[in-house]
Structure 1
Amino acid sequence: GELLRALGGVKASASLLGVPLGHNSSFLQGPAFAPPRIREAIWCGSTNSSTEEGKELNDPRVLTDVGDVPIQEIRDCGVEDDRLMHVISESVKTVMEEDPLRPLVLGGDHSISYPVVRAVSEKLGGPVDILHLDAHPDIYDAFEGNTYSHASSFARIMEGGYARRLLQVGLRSITKEGREQGKR
């Protein structure tokens, strides 16, 4: 509802979409609180809203904020992760409906990478190239039994055929399982 209302009639070159998901993190649950904190940093008085191209970020034709996917409300209804990943993907596709809207997705834990990349790949009609900057490859088949773990997002992306190429930069630790999974 709110997401669709926010899109009504506005033609922006990019849209912020929050995905406050944190339950797939194996350690701290703080990532769910990131979208509002990122917005605070973007819109705080000490930032410069002018871009190098002379565009103003506070111009709704340049950047609009369509709100958050209501993750906690959906989970409170007992929705399983398969369905939740679908809802996230569909939300990203909704943002992409109004050409030239481009989603700038604010997470959440790394598990949101899978439904976001899936949505972009499906919307664009084929696999995409990904530059992944991280210390970990996030390619476990299932981490601690969770196939949607923050440590499994790129395994889901690759097995779904949503990436044509994946370039991972900054990796500092990879397990034997990760090396084996990476070869697949």
Structure 2
Amino acid sequence: MALVPTFATPPGFLGLPLREHGAIAVAGIPLDLGTTNRAGAREGPAAIRRASRMLVDGSHPTTRVDPKGLPLADVGDFALALGDLDASLALIERQAADHAHLVALGGEHGITLPLLRVLARRVGGPLALVHFDAHLDTWPESFGQRFSHGQPFFHALEEGLVDPKRMIQLGIRSPVEPEIMDWTRGRGVTVISAIDAHEAGPAAVAARIREVVGDAPAYLSFDIDALDPAFAPGTGTPEAGGFATWQVQAILRRIGGLDFRGMDVVEVCPPFDVAEVTALAAATVAWEYLCRAG
């Protein structure tokens, strides 16, 4: 096979051709109807795919896994209902059901709710959840709306899609009403603030994730605003004081072997990105997930 320079990598994620099915399916979900600040996350999947060209030149340096050797397919973008958030969430749920193991490229964080509904049905009960974010996303409503990007985990907990005692949120640091934090912790969710994570270090954070998740089937949801705006300026709701990219990589590399059944990386907003740094960080998170040790 002829080699091509990096800039000529085909446009699929990691240069993959578009196919309808794979044991592990990468799908774009270009939804941003429920964003509350900057719009533009609908451009996220295309930007993440483009930035992923930097990750195709070999195997992971630690796990020695090359995703090209996995049963991996880029299945393109999910269809959405133009201008209709509720109908779009229903369409996402319907299409996600066609894929046993999904790596979703967002899009806003609201896409996680229909993905969790599908996966919880598939495993026959609530999931463990590893959630990186600046925000709790457990508001019962945002600005009078029930299904914006600030609600997915309120609904996931209320619907029994996630086991709160096996749910851990990392990097939390945004302003939040005390009753929202109290409700979340009161359900049994483990919340690790960005400051606490910085002070503890990646090894301790990873150990806490392992302790919370245990051997349960799990889902990884990564909001790119978990990163500090210095490392991810291209997002809709940036918050100062977040993770550096290396810290996230160090954590993800220490949680290989957990029983992850799917993941998403969301809230990349290319109109506010600089030199693709946010899109590359998001692509790297998905790549780290695919390359994790067994």
Same fold (TM over 0.5): yes
Q: Find the aligned partners of 1:118 and 1:135 in 2 and give their Cα distance.
A: 23
Q: Please say if 1:164 is aligned against 2:163.
A: yes
Query: After the TM superposition, which segments of 4 or more aligned residues of structure 1 sit over 4 Å from their partners?
Result: 52-55
Letter in 2 for 1:171: I
- Secondary structure in 2 aligned to 1:147? coil
Q: Give the structure 1 partner of residue 37 of structure 2.
A: 27
**Cα distance 1:49–1:62, how it changes in 2: closer, same or farther (>3 A)?**
farther
Counterpart of 2:25 (choices 2, 15, 20) is 15
For residue 146 of structure 1, give the secondary structure of its aligned residue in structure 2: coil
Residue of structure 2 equivalent to 1:176: 178
Instruction: Output the CA distance in 2 between the equivalents of 1:109 and 1:116.
Output: 13
Question: Is 1:6 equivalent to 2:6 in the alignment?
Answer: no
**Residue in 1 aligned with 2:95?**
91
Distance 2:163 2:75 in 1: 29
Report 1:119-158 matches (<5 A).
119-158=118-157
Aligned letter for 1:133? F
Q: Which of 69, 87, 99 matches 2:78?
A: 69
1:82/1:23 Cα in 2 relative to 1: closer, same or farther (>3 Å)?
A: closer
Partner residue in 1 for 2:259: none
What is the CA–CA distance in structure 1 between the aligned matches of 2:146 and 2:58, rounded to whole Å?
Answer: 39
Q: Deviations over 1:72-104 (max 9, x none)?
A: xx225xxx43332121112111112xxxxx100
- Stretches of structure 1 lacking an aligned partner (at least 5 in a row): 97-101
Letter in 2 for 1:175: E
Partner amino acid, structure 2, of 1:27: N
Residue 67 of structure 2 aligns to a residue in which SS?
Answer: coil
**SS of 2:73's equivalent?**
strand
Deviation at 1:179, TM superposition (A): 2.3
**What's the offset of the Cα at 1:70?**
1.8
Aligned partners of 2:163 and 2:38: how far apart in 1?
A: 32
Q: Which has the higher contact order (CA 8 A, sep 6+)?
A: 1
- Amino acid of the residue matched to residue 177 of structure 2? T
Letter in 2 for 1:29: A
Per-residue deviation, 1:169: 1.3
- On the 8 A contact 2:33/2:85 being kept in 1, the answer is no
Number of residue pairs matched? 164
Change (3 A) 1:17 1:93: same
The CA deviation at 1:62 is 2.8
Q: Provide, for residues 124-157 of structure 1, a one-character-per-residue CA deviation record: whole Å limited to 9, x for no partner.
A: 1111000111111001101011111111111111
Q: Is the 8 A contact 1:56 1:62 kept in 2?
A: no
Counterpart AA for 1:65: D
The 1-side partners of 2:27 and 2:121 are apart by 18
Single out whichever of 170-179 and 135-144 deviates more from structure 2: 170-179
Contact 1:141–1:181 (8 Å) recurs in 2: no
- Please, what TM-score do these two structures have when normalized by structure 1? 0.79
Q: 1:170 to 1:53 in 2, by over 3 A?
A: closer
RMSD: 2.1
For the 8 Å contact 2:79–2:91, the answer to whether it is kept is no
Separation (CA, whole Å) in 2 of partners of 1:146 and 1:162: 21
